[in-house]
Structure 1
Amino acid sequence: MDKLEHYRSTIKKILTQYHQLFSSASPENVEMLLAFDDERNQYLWFQVGWTSEERIKGNSVHIRIKNEKIYIEEDWTEEGIANELLRKGVTKEDIVLAFHDPETRKLTEFAVA
């Protein structure tokens, strides 16, 4: 399996696990959803729905693959998607914490871009 396919597969497995874990715990009128777009290398785990008072919508995780690196655009998980990726064998040099500005990224142990 080439690097791009490995990254796609790994991301989808991680997000699917989160989805399965949290779907059963979500409120009745809130759906946990996944969107995988291999053509554009975009991967989302998000929720939509209603409470009795307001609309619920938001991304829990948004990941994209760009220039053979994994860009974590948004991550509201407790442990961090980057740690999950490291456990699956992705190197720090191939993970970009894109939710940080470029100057802050320089202070992390991950890739800047």
Structure 2
Amino acid sequence: MKGMPGGMAQLMKQANQMQMKMKKAQEELSKKEYEASSGGGAVKVKVNGDHLLTSLTIDAEVLKAGDVEMLQDMILSCTNEAIKTAKDTSSKEMEKITGGMNIPGMF
């Protein structure tokens, strides 16, 4: 940092602080769970902040109906909804830190 003009050193310091805040936020977000359901709660899924499926619950009544395609659609629908919620939440949290700047490779 020595030899840099004062403005550049300050900018580097701010960038490092932003990166640390983003890393902390990403760690916190990865621990959160996001739940979605389909079919009036017949199928429920949970995903974590890393967009990995952590829980899948299927009501026994759905299985009795025997409609495999409907069950597959419900699983896909609520899984995608939970992942979208996780991504949207992550984007909003990062925007708070970056002030809406798009920083490639940061998240």
TM over 0.5, shorter chain: no
Give me the TM-score of the superposition, normalised by structure 2: 0.35
Higher RCO, Cα 8 Å, sep 6+: 2
- Higher strand proportion (structure 1 or 2): 1
The higher radius of gyration belongs to 2
Give me the TM-score of the superposition, normalised by structure 1: 0.34
- Higher helix proportion (structure 1 or 2): 2
